[in-house]
């Protein structure tokens, strides 16, 4: 136990979440059942693109236990799955996904019909008897292909988007050297261990519609449901259960969420849907698949004059809840931590006949970092400069902070990099990794015939975007603290983080803090847990509210103890004199009883204004974004015969601003890093030329196992606390994954002896073998 | 095919006399008919190991067995690991070493490790890593799972 029993910020305390999770007491959505519930099974298209000629549900309707079978006609009054309000983009609306396919199917897995039955096995039996007749249409499997027809008069290129600033033509005209690269990132996804699930329940007595199994953004989803279903905001609520991983994918609204809600109302019984793994790998959001034609203009010293990037974003069959957000984030973050005087990006946002895409951990940024760092390595190679030195020449300096990147396009928000010592972190990481000695060692090993190399990925993350979030804190008569937030937990340790912030500010043991999240009926606002916002936004709001409760407690105690407030402190849930903790004291529970409405005694229990009792509601508002930053360093060894890549070492160096719980931050960084290694080396959603998905089991989509997970070296720094919130928080959810593809690509290029060779992720053994053959062909005579 | 069979499963010492279709998986029956939802399903095709339980002393993937195959068997699930209020050394070690984040895969890893360490308390580290690589986790990156299992193994050997 630390000397100060209520110092919790910065301590690696055990998680409050763990006990129910290790004992089986946790309740994930599949573990929830309501009396009388029906089970839904979705009938999906087995064609990538086609006109629906007929759907025959007659046999299914007669099968045992089947209550209803729906097609689009049965829910003709329900519109497509809407964008979030803050993603409204008129031009993209025609590309939204209908709840059940109307007229056309657009990817393998597209929901066409829904079976509702007494038992999930019976629902699946019936679903197999539904016959869908489809007239096949031409299939587009690549965003490189010429755009086709999405609907009459509407092409599959849904948008062409531009981001720019500076005089890009002059930059290229004045360049000493122009380097052009053709780069691709593969199609990946988060693939959480828990598949999706949803239970719709309608309580007719209260006229209340409930969605159980929400995650990530409960309040945003509630807003969308209110719009889509035309219900009063107070008559549809969403409820989070335990959530088995999110990674951006889980918790968005999907067709199945709408189906269970509508069915619960119309069939008059709760409706449960639990996705199977094959469905997940065909239907949950995928991401990352982009093809970049990137050019960089540099001067003779390797300083960047301009970056010009045209890229093709593969959106899949429909535009989902995020609109074009991933492509936007790609464009905003291509310049990363570097000073780029002129910039132009053009994105061809194209639909294809594959699973729809949206955010996956570090959305758009894993992609942009791969592109940017490939360019940096190419500059280093072309000009014969050390790869660390070329980065240092271009990094934005600490004394330039805050650094504003203002785009020409009025609708594109400025990027205001809030704080950071990028070169300082690069130096620290290189020193901790032993970069100089490592280069010598790798040269020696390569001379001995080994295929070994090192690579770098440097990046700026972004998080904590506003505008506002709040928290309600109340202390009960026993001195236990309840924190009600509009946040969400995807397994990242949200409860512990919030409890630590509250405990530190209020002066209580964090284990006496109970954190509520994910229930829209308990608090009318909330940003959820996405885009690494939770710690910054909700954490800052919890800090504000806890400080308010603290002030109320101390004021009340001052009166109770007849001691000036400024002589009082709160330690381990008890208000004590600062100078003599052994003197008179009063517990927070006693104060809560004293302040309770109706409590006896003079001056107490008058809830005339504000919150009654020992309670407060606090808000944190910001119009800015925080920008943590990191460096990834990798060493790989390639097996010449098989093309298999072994990651010998990997370091994640990351500045979090302020670490609330270093153990959990390390957990985020290591876990994210291994997930990134999956995307760099193993995982890929491959489709054949007819749009059939080839990776529909976990035996085909290769998530790393322990044997593919090297020990990750982690360097957490707090050199640049954010000036934008009182605790200096910056968040850590996506810093482990962002630069992995870039660092591994650099390391493999270095190992092959051609730093620019790697143009494409993932680097599966077959692709690495191709690279080795190309390198051998280019320099005959090498072993 | 839809005929039902009378079977008895003993889960964590408690006997469940139930009537099930032959096609129902052990995992579904543990969860639904017997109400023990601590055993989770991650893939239902035998790859991820999330549904691992111990059947007659051996860790198995309960999504790949039918419940009728386990008639009369003694089954252990995560709900039976703790000794009353006292967590099993592996449960304790998983919490101390931050070996879980979302916790969905955790019951499978716990049952896999318990099953192996009870049968082979002196298992070599390489063999242990091989066995642990048969389950998947998407949050932790595995390092802390390995630390926790090693720590618990040492403690279980001392007992």
Contact in structure between B7 and B68 (CB atoms under 8 Å):
yes
Closest residue in chain A to residue B103, using alpha carbons only:
A21
Q: Is the ipTM of this complex over 0.90?
A: yes
- Quote the minimal CA–CA distance from A39 to chain B in Å: 13
pLDDT digit string (tens) for A99-128? 999 999 999 999 999 999 999 999 999 999
DSSP β-bridge partners for residue A515: A483
- State how far the alpha carbon of A19 is from the alpha carbons of A27, A437, A668, B86, B107, in Å: 12, 45, 19, 11, 12
Pairing of strands A645-655, A712-717: parallel
The stretches of A119-252 forming alpha helices (DSSP H) are: 120-128, 168-173, 218-229
Structure tokens at A262: 């509508």
How crowded is residue A480: how many other Cβ atoms within 10 Å of its Cβ? 18
Chain centre to alpha carbon of residue A168 = 32
Query: B139–A491: do the CB atoms touch at under 8 Å?
Result: yes
Rounded Cα distance between A344 and A329, Å, is 14
Interface test with A, best of B139, B144, B147 (most A CBs within 10 A): B139
Structural domains present in chain B: 4-80 (3.10.20.30), 89-158 (1.10.150.120)
At residue A34, what are phi and psi to the nearest 5 degrees?
-115, 145
Rounded Cα distance between A739 and A634, Å, is 10
Query: B133–A705: do the CB atoms touch at under 8 Å?
Result: yes
- State how far the alpha carbon of A756 is from the alpha carbons of A369, A395, A583, A722, B135, in Å: 15, 21, 71, 36, 36
| pLDDT at residue A6, as a whole number | 60
Of A292, A306, A41, give the one whose Cα is nearest residue A165: A306
Quick check: helix, strand or coil at residue A193?
coil
Contacts of A493 in chain B (CB under 8 A): 101
- Quote the minimal CA–CA distance from A161 to chain B in Å: 34
- Around A500, how many Cα atoms within 13 Å sit in the side-chain half-sphere? 25
**B 28-57 near A (Cβ less than 8 A):** 31, 36-45, 47-48, 50
Structure tokens at A410: 């009025």
DSSP β-bridge partners for residue A416: A404
| pLDDT at residue A606, as a whole number | 52
Structure tokens at B16: 């469940």
Pairing of strands A50-56, A104-105: antiparallel
Angle between helix axes B89-96 and B143-158 (nearest 10 degrees) is 140
User: What is chain A's length?
Assistant: 783
Of A606, A777, A748, A772, give the one whose Cα is nearest residue A681: A748
Rounded Cα distance between A254 and A283, Å, is 9
Query: A194–B40: do the CB atoms touch at under 8 Å?
Result: yes
Rounded Cα distance between A699 and A681, Å, is 15
Confidence check: pLDDT of B2 > 80:
no
pLDDT digit string (tens) for B75-88? 999 999 999 999 99
Nearest to B101 among A671, A673, A703 (CB): A671
Share of chain A above pLDDT 90, in %: 89
Structural domains present in chain A: 18-26+465-621 (3.30.365.10), 33-137+213-223+238-243+250-275 (3.90.1170.50), 290-463+625-778 (3.30.365.10)
Closest residue in chain A to residue B83, using alpha carbons only:
A23
Element (H, E) at A179: strand A177-185
Query: A697–B47: do the CB atoms touch at under 8 Å?
Result: yes
Contacts of A243 in chain B (CB under 8 A): 102
Q: What is the DSSP letter of A486?
A: S
Structure tokens at A456: 């770098």
Rounded Cα distance between B95 and B81, Å, is 14
CB-based contact (8 Å) between A193 and chain B? Answer: yes
Contacts of A195 in chain B (CB under 8 A): 42
Contact in structure between A116 and A311 (CB atoms under 8 Å):
no
At residue A5, what are phi and psi to the nearest 5 degrees?
-70, -10
How far the first Cα of chain A sits from its last, in Å, is: 60
Structure tokens at A48: 């990538």
Rounded Cα distance between A452 and A449, Å, is 9
Of A471, A494, A459, give the one whose Cα is nearest residue A616: A471
Chain centre to alpha carbon of residue A56 = 39
CB-based contact (8 Å) between B79 and chain A? Answer: yes
Quick check: helix, strand or coil at residue B68?
helix
- Over A654-678, what HEC string results? EECCCCCCHHHHHHHHHHHHHHHHH
- Over A501-534, what HEC string results? HHHHHHCCCHHHEEEECCECCCCCCCCCCCCCCH
| pLDDT at residue A602, as a whole number | 46
Cis peptide before A151 (omega within 30 of 0): no
DSSP β-bridge partners for residue A612: none
DSSP β-bridge partners for residue A199: A212, A272
At residue A66, what are phi and psi to the nearest 5 degrees?
-85, 130
- The pLDDT of B39-58, averaged and rounded, is 97
User: Would you say the C-alpha torsion A32, A497, A661, A648 has a positive or negative sign?
Assistant: positive
Cα Rg of chain A (Å, integer):
28
CB-based contact (8 Å) between B81 and chain A? Answer: yes
Of B113, B66, B121, give the one whose Cα is nearest residue B90: B113
Contacts of A670 in chain B (CB under 8 A): 140-141, 143-144
Rounded Cα distance between A517 and A487, Å, is 5
Quick check: helix, strand or coil at residue A304?
strand
Closest residue in chain A to residue B30, using alpha carbons only:
A31
Nearest to A24 among B21, B41, B107 (CB): B107
Structure tokens at B101: 């984040």
Q: Which residues of chain A have pLDDT under 70?
A: 1-6, 85-88, 531, 581, 600-611, 780-783
User: Burial letters for B99-120: b for 16+ Cβ neighbours within 10 Å, e otherwise?
Assistant: bbbbbbbbbbbbbbbbbbbeee
Interface test with B, best of A678, A706, A732, A734 (most B CBs within 10 A): A706
At residue A218, what are phi and psi to the nearest 5 degrees?
-55, -45
CA triple A280-A285-A288, angle to 5 deg: 125
Torsion of CA A508, A509, A512, A517, to 10 degrees: 80
User: Burial letters for A14-44: b for 16+ Cβ neighbours within 10 Å, e otherwise?
Assistant: bbbbbeebbbbebebbbbbebeebbbbbbbb
The stretches of A317-401 forming alpha helices (DSSP H) are: 325-333, 365-383, 387-394
Query: A15–B143: do the CB atoms touch at under 8 Å?
Result: no
Rounded Cα distance between A537 and A183, Å, is 35
Rounded Cα distance between A210 and A200, Å, is 6
- State how far the alpha carbon of A157 is from the alpha carbons of A142, A289, A320, A412, B69, in Å: 12, 15, 15, 20, 54
Structure tokens at A353: 């006949």
Q: What is the DSSP letter of A328?
A: H
Rounded Cα distance between A434 and A438, Å, is 6
Q: Tokens 């929830």: give the residue.
A: A32
Rounded Cα distance between A670 and A715, Å, is 11
Contact in structure between B53 and B81 (CB atoms under 8 Å):
no
DSSP β-bridge partners for residue B34: none
CB-based contact (8 Å) between B132 and chain A? Answer: yes
**A 346-375 near B (Cβ less than 8 A):** none
Contacts of B103 in chain A (CB under 8 A): 17-18, 20-22, 26, 242, 244, 491
| pLDDT at residue A528, as a whole number | 81
Rounded Cα distance between A667 and A601, Å, is 50
């Amino acid at each position: 136990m630390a000397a100060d029993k209520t110092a919790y910020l910065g301590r690696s305390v055990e998680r409050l979440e763990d006990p129910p999770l290790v004992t089986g007491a946790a309740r994930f959505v599949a573990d929830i059942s309501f009396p009388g519930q029906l089970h839904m099974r979705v009938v999906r298209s087995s064609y990538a693109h086609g006109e629906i000629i007929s759907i025959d549900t007659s046999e299914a309707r007669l099968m045992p236990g089947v209550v209803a079978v729906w097609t689009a006609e049965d829910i003709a009054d329900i519109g497509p799955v809407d964008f979030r309000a803050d993603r409204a983009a008129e031009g993209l609306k025609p590309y939204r996904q209908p709840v059940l396919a109307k007229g056309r199917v657009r990817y393998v897995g597209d929901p066409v019909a829904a079976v509702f039955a007494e038992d999930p096995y019976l629902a699946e039996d019936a679903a197999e008897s539904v016959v869908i007749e489809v007239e096949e249409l031409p299939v587009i499997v690549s965003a490189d292909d010429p755009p086709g027809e999405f609907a009459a008069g509407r092409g599959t290129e849904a948008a062409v988007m531009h981001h720019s600033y500076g005089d890009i033509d002059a930059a290229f005209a004045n360049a000493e050297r122009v380097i052009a690269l053709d780069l691709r990132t593969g199609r990946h996804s988060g693939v959480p261990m828990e598949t999706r699930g949803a239970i719709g329940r309608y309580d007719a007595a209260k006229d209340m519609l409930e969605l159980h199994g929400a995650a990530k953004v409960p309040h945003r989803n509630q807003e969308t449901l209110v719009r889509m279903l035309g219900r009063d905001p107070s008559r549809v609520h969403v409820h989070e259960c335990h959530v088995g991983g999110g990674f951006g994918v889980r918790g968005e609204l999907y067709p199945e969420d709408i189906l269970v809600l509508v069915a619960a109302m119309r069939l008059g019984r709760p409706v449960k849907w639990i996705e199977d793994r094959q469905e997940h790998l065909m239907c949950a959001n995928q991401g990352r698949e982009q093809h970049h034609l990137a050019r960089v203009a540099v001067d003779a010293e390797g300083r960047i004059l301009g970056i010009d990037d045209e890229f093709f974003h593969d959106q899949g069959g429909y535009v989902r809840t995020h609109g074009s957000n991933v492509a936007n984030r790609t464009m905003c973050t291509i310049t990363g931590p570097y000073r780029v005087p002129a910039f132009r990006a053009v994105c061809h946002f194209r639909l294809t006949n594959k699973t729809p895409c949206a955010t996956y951990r570090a959305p758009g940024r894993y992609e942009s970092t791969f592109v940017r760092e490939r360019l940096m390595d190419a500059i280093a190679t072309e000009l014969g400069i050390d790869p660390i030195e070329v980065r240092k020449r271009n990094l934005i300096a600490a004394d330039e902070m805050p650094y504003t990147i203002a785009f020409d396009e009025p609708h594109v928000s400025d990027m205001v990099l809030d704080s950071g010592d990028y070169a300082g972190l690069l130096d620290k990481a290189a020193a901790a990794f032993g970069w100089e000695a490592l280069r010598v060692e790798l040269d020696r090993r390569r001379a001995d015939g080994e295929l070994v190399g090192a690579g770098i990925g440097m990046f700026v993350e972004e998080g904590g975007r506003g505008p506002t979030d709040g928290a309600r804190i109340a202390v009960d008569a026993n001195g236990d603290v309840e924190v009600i937030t509009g946040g969400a937990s995807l397994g990242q340790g949200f409860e512990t983080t919030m409890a630590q912030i509250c405990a530190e500010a209020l002066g209580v043991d964090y284990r006496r803090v109970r954190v509520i999240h994910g229930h829209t009926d308990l608090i009318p606002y909330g940003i959820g847990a996405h885009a690494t916002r939770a710690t910054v936004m909700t954490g800052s709001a919890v800090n504000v509210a806890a400080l308010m409760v603290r002030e109320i407690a101390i004021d009340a105690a001052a009166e109770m103890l007849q001691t000036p407030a400024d002589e009082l402190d709160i330690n381990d849930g008890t208000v004590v004199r600062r100078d003599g903790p052994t003197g008179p004291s009063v517990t927070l529970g006693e104060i809560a009883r004293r302040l309770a409405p109706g409590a006896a005694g003079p001056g107490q229990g008058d809830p005339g204004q504000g919150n009654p009792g020992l309670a407060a509601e606090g808000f944190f508002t910001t119009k800015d974004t925080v920008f943590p930053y990191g460096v990834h360093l990798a060493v790989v060894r390639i097996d010449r015969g098989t093309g298999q890549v072994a990651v010998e070492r990997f370091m994640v160096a990351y500045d979090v601003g302020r670490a609330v719980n270093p153990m959990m931050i390390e957990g985020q960084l290591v876990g994210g890093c291994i997930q990134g290694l999956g995307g760099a080396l193993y995982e890929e959603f491959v489709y054949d030329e007819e749009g059939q998905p080839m990776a529909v089991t976990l035996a085909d989509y290769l998530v790393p196992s322990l044997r593919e997970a090297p020990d990750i070296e982690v360097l957490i720094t707090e050199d640049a606390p954010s000036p934008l919130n009182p605790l200096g928080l910056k968040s850590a959810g996506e810093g482990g994954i962002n630069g992995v593809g870039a660092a591994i690509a650099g390391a493999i290029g270095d190992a092959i002896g051609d730093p620019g060779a790697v143009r494409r992720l993932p680097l599966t053994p077959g692709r690495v073998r191709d690279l080795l053959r190309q390198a051998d062909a280019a320099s005959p005579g090498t072993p | 095919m839809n005929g039902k069979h009378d079977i008895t499963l003993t889960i964590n010492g408690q006997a469940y006399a139930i009537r099930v279709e032959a096609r129902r998986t052990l995992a579904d029956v543990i969860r639904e008919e017997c109400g023990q939802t601590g055993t989770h399903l991650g893939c239902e095709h035998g790859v991820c190991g999330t549904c691992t339980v111990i059947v007659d002393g051996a860790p198995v993937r309960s999504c790949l067995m039918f419940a009728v195959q386990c008639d009369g068997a003694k089954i252990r699930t995560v709900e039976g690991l703790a000794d009353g209020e006292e967590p099993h050394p592996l449960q304790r070690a998983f919490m101390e070493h931050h070996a879980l984040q979302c916790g969905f895969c955790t019951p499978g890893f716990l049952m896999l490790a318990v099953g192996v360490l009870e049968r082979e308390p002196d298992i070599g580290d390489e063999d242990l890593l091989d066995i642990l690589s048969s389950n998947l986790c998407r949050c932790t990156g595995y390092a802390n799972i390995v630390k926790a299992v090693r720590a618990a193994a040492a403690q279980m050997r001392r007992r």
